[in-house]
Amino acid sequence: MKSVTPYSSLAVVYDAVMAHVDYEAWADYILHLIDEFGWDGESEDAPSPTAGMQVLELGAGTGLLTEELLAQTDWTMLVTDGSSPMLAVAKVRLNSLDSLKQRIRFQDLDFSTPWEVAGDFDCQLLLYDGFNYLLDTEQVENLFASVKKAGRPRGLLVFDQSTPHNSINNADFFEDDGEKGALRYHRKSHFDIEIGIHTTEFEISGPDGVFQEVHRQRAWTRAQVIDLLAQTDLEVIASLDGFSLDPAHDESERIHWVVRLPG
């Protein structure tokens, strides 16, 4: 068995791994958040969240959520990911859609290090546990500093985080397997509550051999993220429990944040 970097061999079977996710519902929720909290002005003048914004998506993976967002909006998007194999799958998916491909650009981008992109974005997205791949405060600081450079004044950042309660309460789902074509995968996870690190191991087997990927994510607490945001000049507009409009709390399993850039 050969050890490879995260999201390299997994890219081919990723859509099967995520088959349980309702990406249309995810897109609906994100658009609702932008509609509810995103307008920086008089509410009666608020544009539709589906209007032609410039949007940067960080950690876009294979473009499953991207496709839903583009289908429901007039957005122009820069689609990025730190894994070239994942982004390659996204390119094939999105470029095959003639009605959408004119509104998309792609860029390899590791959001854990300082980064720059061409554009002046109205909204930036980092969703579905992308934030949890930031393992220390320096990486979070890199993200926030780079987001400020990429966004227009008073623009938005929408991101979510999985908390320790998600890992603790859902341990029954820590092991599963599946297949896509000639490829099979086995996934098992472990959460170290003492250090807040959730480790997931994938074993992917197929005609080219057996490959192992080890993914490490930090289960940030709500209090930790509050403290990190408080050290910036970013304005927290909303901190929400799960997929609701209810305020997040210390036992929330997933928290969605809507943040405004300075300007």
The Cα 11–Cα 115 span in angstroms is: 23
Q: What predicted TM-score, i.e. pTM, was given to this entire model?
A: 0.96
- Considering the domain architecture, whether residues 179 and 67 belong to the same structural domain is answered as no
- Quick one: 186 and 252 in the same domain? no
The confidence score (pLDDT) of residue 54 equals: 96
Query: In the structure encoding, which two tokens stand for residue 31, read together?
Result: 């658009």
Q: Give pLDDT tens digits for 15-45.
A: 999 999 999 999 999 999 999 998 887 666 6
Residue 136, CA atoms < 13 Å, CB-side half-sphere = 2
CATH number, domain at 143? Answer: 3.40.50.150
Same domain, 37 and 112: yes
Provide the domain count of the chain. Answer: 2
Q: Is the dihedral of CA 132, 186, 109, 154 positive or negative?
A: negative
**110: phi then psi, degrees, rounded to nearest 5:** -95, 105
Q: Residue 173's domain spans which residues?
A: 166-217
Check pLDDT > 90 for residue 48: no
Q: Are residues 184 and 121 in the same domain?
A: no
- Strands across the sheet containing 2-3: 2-3, 209-218, 197-206, 183-192, 175-180
Is the pLDDT at 139 greater than 70? The verdict is yes
More confident residue, 197 or 98: 197
And the tokens for 171? 């341990």
Average pLDDT over every residue of 58-73: 97
Tell me the pLDDT band of 221, cut-offs 50, 70 and 90. very high
